[in-house]
Amino acid sequence: MKDTAKDAGQSADQGSGATGKGSAPLGVAVVGAGYWGPNLVRNFQSSDQFRLRWLCDLNVDRARQVLGAYSTVQATGDYEAVLADPEVDAVAVATPAGTHLDVALAALRAGKHVLVEKPLAATYEDGLRLVNEAEDRGLTLMCDHTYCYTPAVARIRELVRSGELGEIHYVDSVRINLGLVQKDVDVLWDLAPHDLSVLEFILPDHVQPVAVAAHGADPIGAGQSCVAYLTLQLNTGAIAHVHVNWLSPTKVRTTMVGGSKRTLVWDDLNPTQRVAVFDRGVDLSAPQEIGADERRDMLVSYRTGDMVAPAIGEKEALRSMVEEFAASIRTGRPPLTDGRAGLKVLDILEAASRSLEFRGAVVGLRTGR
């Protein structure tokens, strides 16, 4: 164990000891009362697995306003006081990405388990520091890749990984809407993490992205790409594509997963049929089934089977995410969206940024080597 744990005023064992608390609620603090923090506050407060003790924000009045009737939760601007509280087992970070390293690293060094809003960090190297710190100390580091905890994506993961779709041929995602144009990041860093985290979550373990090419445009002069297209090469020869756009007058949230047996379509904006599985596609006769005189005209056949819409339950994704965070802390197992999952997303985003600089050049991935 590193001496830096002592420098933080606590040993790392205090945080990891939360796994021995049995069924007692885990003390948790939320850092950041801006856009996402209130959602975390609400879900931690309603969970029987946690006891929300603090909401920390530089704007204490805003923190108090968010807490409202939650009179048992303390609002503060003093992060050191939060980390010094021995009843705090875990910290949820909902601050701007550029602060994730400092805020999360301080929590890990204080022996706290950490949940970090997407993206894990501002850079791959910063994210790697957090992953290594958590692993060295035996602490949970989890990414709040919220979409991965929706009932629809959980079912998609099951269908893909069970082999029901067959070998994956392609994945195509569209995430477009009007605004909100960001000042500090381009549309890839703003919207694509959702699609990339889902891609990493649903693909079988043996299927990995190995290279990326990205194209973007800034037609309104915002200073960064407002429309972008990202293409991923997978190690199996398959392809994944992500389209993100701040300028679309219509809102679209769809993902198509094409397999050798079936094709799945996820429409997140269709509450009556979020997921549909089509037994429709193209079959190519195997070479051994074709005579020598027919090899130039290989037979293509088209399947036109049924469409099935699996029953999808309704449950708030953040509620499931909070439950997964608690289960990971108590059992010591990695969460479904752990720090290394967050690293894979950062790897792709950084490679995509380099590709944009070189007008769509193909850039290899660290995690694909």
The mean pLDDT value of the chain amounts to 90
Structural domains in the chain (count) = 2
Question: CA angle, corner 323, sides to 175 and 347, nearest 5?
Answer: 45
Percent of the chain, pLDDT > 90? 80
Average pLDDT of span 218-225: 95
The pTM score is 0.87
Residue-wise pLDDT for 75-98, tens only, equals: 999 999 999 999 999 999 999 999
* CATH of residue 223: 3.30.360.10
pLDDT tier, 13 (very low <50, low <70, confident <90, very high otherwise)? very low
* CATH of residue 65: 3.40.50.720
Q: Where are the beta strands (DSSP E) in the chain?
A: 26-31, 50-56, 74-76, 90-93, 113-117, 141-144, 168-178, 209-217, 227-234, 239-245, 247-259, 263-267, 275-284, 300-308, 363-364
- In this prediction, residue 286 carries a pLDDT of 62
Q: Looking at the domain assignment, is residue 158 inside a domain?
A: yes
Average pLDDT of span 47-75: 93
Same domain, 72 and 184: no
Which range is least confidently modeled, 96-100, 300-304, 309-313? Answer: 300-304
Same domain, 210 and 358: yes
- In this prediction, residue 295 carries a pLDDT of 53
- In this prediction, residue 165 carries a pLDDT of 96
Residue-wise pLDDT for 245-275, tens only, equals: 999 999 999 999 999 999 999 999 998 999 9
pLDDT tier, 298 (very low <50, low <70, confident <90, very high otherwise)? low
Q: Is the pLDDT of residue 1 over 70?
A: no
Q: What is the CA radius of gyration of the chain?
A: 23
Name the residue range of residue 21's domain. 4-144
